[in-house]
């Protein structure tokens, strides 16, 4: 026994091993920081792209998408060089990367169209209008999967679609917000994104190697970047290269935020599941609407807010139910909305397409 008053030297052994509570707290804080960072980056990316498409800034959708993808590819290559362990799929296909780049070209070309159409939509529509329409993306993805024979439409899903569409109709100011050109571009981007998701799942299923999301992005980036660069050369505005000299900080920041979001969602998805990502995206959309209304001075009525929240909540509920069909939340929401245990049943193995349907980013 050590006498009272004796000074004992400090050692790590004196503190003992770290407690499980401390480790759980550190893990929880890490997840919260990732989710918070994803929300902040998502709101910043939406507002920054909308700002860039305004007259007098950089209103060149094709060139903006091409430069964005060029920076994104550069960031991906640098991140892979710095932390190759984050890309486990790249190690599995060592010696076959040329083959997989050709396979994922089927994903890169639709990705280029999605980027171009989404920039065009931002050029013609407000952030609130596009975020309201974007909630119908889950419908587009599901109907496309039905055409591909991957899903079956039933009464519960149909009723949920009606709720989402009703919310979108209430959220849109048909006198001031509506732009048919922007609406066509946004719906086209959503439809192509749905087809791209199905093609991506087919490419992954046809391969003998399971490639993670970050590796898949690296593999599809060359085709996407080349397609946008060719589009810029053939269809671009001749004055755009001169404007790049003054607008490159915005283009660089846009690509940086998009890449940061991609890394964060790839890191956090295995921890909080696709349903958790869907809830995070819902919070991001709400924050983007609030910030855009405050910064841009757009007048939004309470009916529009209620319609937007109705569509957003319904889309988030759909994502949760597809990811966790047997959850308690699903049974409770099913009883409230349909008077039956709509989410009842035991949880089955997730369909990769259902996870892809979760709203991830802009």
Mean pLDDT of the chain, nearest integer = 79
Q: Which residue has the tokens 């979001």?
A: 261
Mapped onto helix, strand or coil, the DSSP state of residue 295 is helix
Residue 313 CA to residue 311 CA, distance in Å, equals 6
Instruction: Show Cβ contacts of residue 61 under 8 Å, excluding neighbours closer than 6 positions.
Output: 53, 116, 119, 120, 122, 123
Please give the model's pTM, rounded to 2 decimal places.
Answer: 0.78
Nearest to 305 by CA among 128, 162, 122, 179: 128
pLDDT at 338: 40
- Measured over the CA atoms of residue 326, residue 315, residue 48 and residue 105, the dihedral's sign is positive
Residues written for the chain: 362
pLDDT 10s digits, 288-326? 888 888 877 667 778 888 888 888 888 877 777 666 555
**pLDDT band for position 62 (cuts 50, 70, 90):** very high
Find how far residue 109's CA is from the centre of its chain. Answer: 18
Q: How many CB atoms lie within 10 A of CB 167?
A: 23
Q: Is the pLDDT assigned to residue 358 strictly greater than 80?
A: no
Q: How many CB atoms lie within 10 A of CB 261?
A: 22
Token reading at 208? 């003998």
Residue 310 CA to residue 303 CA, distance in Å, equals 10
Q: How many CB atoms lie within 10 A of CB 321?
A: 23
| Mean pLDDT computed over 334-351 | 40
Residue 265 CA to residue 29 CA, distance in Å, equals 16
Residue 220 CA to residue 104 CA, distance in Å, equals 5
Q: Is the pLDDT assigned to residue 224 strictly greater than 90?
A: yes
pLDDT 10s digits, 64-112? 999 999 999 999 999 999 999 889 989 889 888 889 999 999 999 999 9
Token reading at 18? 């770290």
């Amino acid at each position: 026994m050590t006498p009272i008053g004796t000074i004992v030297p400090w050692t790590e052994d004196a503190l003992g091993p770290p407690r499980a509570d401390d480790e759980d707290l550190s893990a929880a804080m890490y997840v919260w920081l990732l989710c918070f960072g994803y929300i902040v980056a998502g709101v910043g990316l939406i507002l920054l792209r909308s700002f860039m498409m305004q007259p007098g800034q950089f209103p060149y959708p094709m060139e903006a998408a091409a430069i964005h993808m060029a920076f994104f590819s550069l960031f991906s290559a640098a991140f892979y060089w710095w932390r190759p362990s984050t890309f486990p799929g790249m190690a599995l296909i060592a010696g076959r990367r040329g083959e997989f780049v050709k396979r994922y070209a089927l994903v890169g070309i639709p990705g280029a169209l999605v980027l171009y159409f989404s920039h065009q939509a931002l050029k013609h529509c407000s952030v609130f209008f596009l975020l309201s329409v974007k909630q119908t993306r889950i419908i587009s993805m599901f109907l496309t999967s039905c055409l591909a024979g991957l899903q079956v439409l039933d009464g519960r899903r149909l009723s949920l679609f009606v709720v989402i569409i009703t919310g979108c109709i209430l959220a849109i100011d048909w006198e001031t917000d509506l732009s048919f050109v922007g609406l066509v571009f946004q719906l086209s981007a959503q439809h192509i994104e749905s087809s791209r998701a199905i093609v991506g799942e087919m490419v992954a299923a046809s391969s003998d190697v399971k490639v993670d999301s970050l590796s898949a992005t690296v593999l599809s980036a060359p085709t996407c970047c080349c397609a946008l660069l060719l589009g810029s050369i053939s269809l671009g505005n001749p004055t755009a290269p001169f404007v790049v000299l003054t607008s490159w900080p915005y283009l660089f920041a846009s690509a940086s935020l998009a890449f940061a979001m991609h890394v964060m969602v790839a890191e956090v998805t295995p921890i909080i599941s696709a349903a958790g990502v869907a809830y995070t995206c819902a919070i991001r959309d709400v924050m983007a609407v609030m910030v855009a209304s405050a910064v841009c001075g757009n007048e939004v009525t309470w009916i529009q807010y209620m319609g937007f929240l109705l569509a957003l909540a319904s889309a988030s509920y759909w994502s949760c139910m597809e990811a966790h069909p047997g959850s308690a939340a699903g049974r409770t929401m099913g009883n409230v909305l349909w008077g039956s245990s709509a989410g009842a049943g035991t949880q089955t193995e997730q369909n990769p397409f259902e996870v892809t349907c979760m709203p991830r980013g802009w």
